[in-house]
Structure 1
Amino acid sequence: MFIRKATETDADQIGDVFLAARAQMAYLPRLHTDEETRWWISNVVLPSHEVWVASRGARVAGFAALREEWLEHLYVAPSAQGSGIGAALLDRAKHARPRLDLHVFQANEGAIRFYERHGFTLAGTGDDNEESLPDAHYRWESST
C-alpha cells in the first residue's frame, strides 16, 4: 500500500471507491446519479479539499478528504476493507491536523467503532445532512 496526495487524474478511481463503498450502505437513499457524483468529486472535492489516496499497485483502494479541521470523507473500496487502509489514511489525516472533526451516519456502526477505536469521541448528534439521516459528530485532538 502506498499513500500519496491525490491528483486530478485520480478522480475516476476515487469515484469508483466512493460509489462502491456507499452502495454497501443499504440505509442511504440514492440522491445522485453516478455521473453527478463523479462530477462533484472532480469539480468540488478535489479542488477544495486536501485529498490523500491509498493505492494498491495502480488502483486507488481508499481516500481521505480534509477541509480545514474536518475529515469530510474517508472511504475504502469494499474489497480492501479490513486491510488497514482506512487506519493508514486516518493516521495520515491525524498527522496533517492537530484536531479532526467528522460526521458519521449513526446507522454506520462499523465506522463508529472504527473511529472510537482510533481515539475519536462523540461531540454531538444531529441530522443536518443531505440525506436527512441521524448522524454523529466525532472529534479527535492530538495529545501533543
Structure 2
Amino acid sequence: MQIRRANDDDWPEVAAIFIAARAGMTYLPKLHSDAETKLFIRRVVKRSEVWLAERNGSIIGFAALEPASPQAWLHHLYVDPAAQNAGAGSALLAKAKAELPGGFSLWTFQANLGARRFYERHGLTETRRTDGAGNEENLPDILYGWNGNSGNAK
C-alpha cells in the first residue's frame, strides 16, 4: 500500500469512495444528490490537504486534513467498503498524525460504532457529544481529539 498526496485530478475516485462508504451508513439521510456530492468532494480535494491510500495503482481510501490554526482538523477519513479492515484506514490515520503532530480534532456520528472503535483503538479520545443540532444530518455526534506526539487526547 502506498500513501500519497492527492492532486486535482484524483477527485472522481475520491468522490466514488465517499459516496460508496456513506451509502453503507444506513442511519444517514441522503441530503444531496451524487452530482452535488461530487462537486463538494472536488472542492475538498482542491482546497484541503488530501492524502490517498493506493493499492496496486487504485485509490482505496482518503483522508482530508485542515492544518489551519488555532485548531487542526481531520475532516474526512473514508475507505472503499471493499477495502475496509485491511490497513488503509490505519495508514491514513497514521499519516494524519504525522502531518498534524500538534494534534487534531474530528467529528463522527454516535451511530458510527465502527469509526468510534477505530478512533479509540488508535488513541483518540472523546471530548464532547452533541444532539446533532449543529450538523446538517441532525444526527447526534461525537467530537474526538488527538493531542499530538504526547499521545494524550485534547
Ranges in structure 1 where 5+ consecutive residues have no aligned partner: none
Q: Are the equivalent residues in 2 in contact too, given 1:48–1:67 (CA < 8 A)?
A: no
User: What are the superposed Cα offsets for residues 16-64 of structure 1, whole Å, 9 maximum, x if unpaired?
Assistant: 100000000000000011111001111x211221000001122110000
Give the letter for the 1:76 counterpart.
V
Q: Look up the match of 1:115.
A: 119
Could you tell me how far 1:10 is from its partner in structure 2? Answer: 0.7
Could you tell me how far 1:137 is from its partner in structure 2? Answer: 0.1
Q: Does 1:10 find its partner at 2:10? A: yes
Q: Look up the match of 2:90.
A: 87
TM-score of the aligned structures, taking structure 1 as reference length: 0.96
Could you tell me how far 1:131 is from its partner in structure 2? Answer: 0.5
Looking at structure 2, the residues matched to 100 and 83 of structure 1 have their Cα atoms a distance apart, in angstroms, of: 24
Looking at structure 1, the residues matched to 9 and 40 of structure 2 have their Cα atoms a distance apart, in angstroms, of: 14
Looking at structure 2, the residues matched to 7 and 47 of structure 1 have their Cα atoms a distance apart, in angstroms, of: 8
User: What are the superposed Cα offsets for residues 47-98 of structure 1, whole Å, 9 maximum, x if unpaired?
Assistant: 2210000011221100000112100000000000000000000000000112
Instruction: Note the aligned Cα RMSD (angstroms).
Output: 1.0
Ranges in structure 2 where 5+ consecutive residues have no aligned partner: none
Looking at structure 2, the residues matched to 10 and 22 of structure 1 have their Cα atoms a distance apart, in angstroms, of: 19
Q: Look up the match of 1:61.
A: 60
Structure 1 SS opposite 2:29: coil
Looking at structure 1, the residues matched to 55 and 135 of structure 2 have their Cα atoms a distance apart, in angstroms, of: 32
Q: Within 5 A, what are the aligned runs for 1:1-144?
A: 1-42=1-42, 44-68=43-67, 69-97=72-100, 98-126=102-130, 127=132, 128-142=134-148, 143=150
TM-score of the aligned structures, taking structure 2 as reference length: 0.90
Identity %: 50
Aligned length: 143
Looking at structure 2, the residues matched to 71 and 79 of structure 1 have their Cα atoms a distance apart, in angstroms, of: 22
